[in-house]
Structures are given as C-alpha cells and as structure tokens.
Amino acid sequence: MQRESSAGYLTRAPRSSGLADVLEILLDRGLVIDAYVRVSLVGIELLTIDLRVVIASVDTYLRFAEAVNRLDLRAVDDSKSVPDLFEKGGEEMAETKTKGAVEGGMDAIKEKIGLGGRGGDDDEDEERSGSRPRSGSNDR
C-alpha cells in the first residue's frame, strides 16, 4: 500500500493505512452538526485529551543535550572498535526507551482503542485490507 521514492525521503500512502493515520482526523475533524450530535462514545475522554505531545520539557532538553553530545562524539571518533559499537548500540536503545515513555500518553490512548502502541502498523494493514464483517458502529 505504501511506496517510497527512490531516495526514500517521501513515503506515500493512497489511503490512511492504519489507525495512526486516521485517529486524530476521525475524532477531531469532520462534519459536526451541533443539533444532532449524539456522540455517545465509550471512552469519550479520548476527545478531551490533548493528543499533542508537550515538546518543551526538561526531559526533552536533557535528551537533546545527550543526543547532541553523542552525535558529536561519533563524528570525532572515526576509529570505532567493536566494544565502542556495542556501547553506542546500547545508548541508542536506552534512548528509544526514554522516547517511548514521553510519547506514552499517545500510546496509552492507542492501547485503549486497541492499536496496541507503536509498531502495530503491520497488523493494522492486515485488518484494514482483510474482510470485515459489518462496517459500522454496530458492532460492540
């Protein structure tokens, strides 16, 4: 469904390829006729949670500082020994984890509606393209 340009910097999808693409759009955009709004969602708190990650935080600053420092060292350090590489790999993993924590708010929301956090894109695609019994909001 998705294709990438030769350089790989532009990813395209003709349709929303998963819940991550449509979540905000479906809950926050679209035609609303006030007089008829009967939005009776279970988990309506979804609508009131600001999905936007707060960018300016101390945690973010410290992560930025650590990353700049690490990238600096990498640029200086041409001769990487094997232990070095292991060490850096470890750092990267640690950083990924911290990031996960920051974006945890969004993940929690995704989990609540069955997206199961990040990395769920593949099985979303499956579900999307697979046969769905009844399209609608009737199923519960």
Residues 55-94 within binding reach of another protein (CB under 8 A): 55-56, 58, 60-69, 71-72, 75
Q: Assign 138 to helix, strand or coil.
A: coil
d(CA 127, CA 125): 5
Binding residue for another protein, selected from 77, 88, 113, 117, defined by CB under 8 A = 113
Smallest CA-to-CA distance from 84 within 104, 70, 67, 99 is with 70
Q: Which two tokens stand for residue 125?
A: 């695609």
Residue 107 near another protein by CB under 8 A: no
CB of 98 to another protein, least distance (A): 10
The 28-57 contact track toward another protein, x by CB under 8 A, reads xxxxxxxxxxxxxxxx--x----xxx-xx-
As a residue count, the chain comes to 140
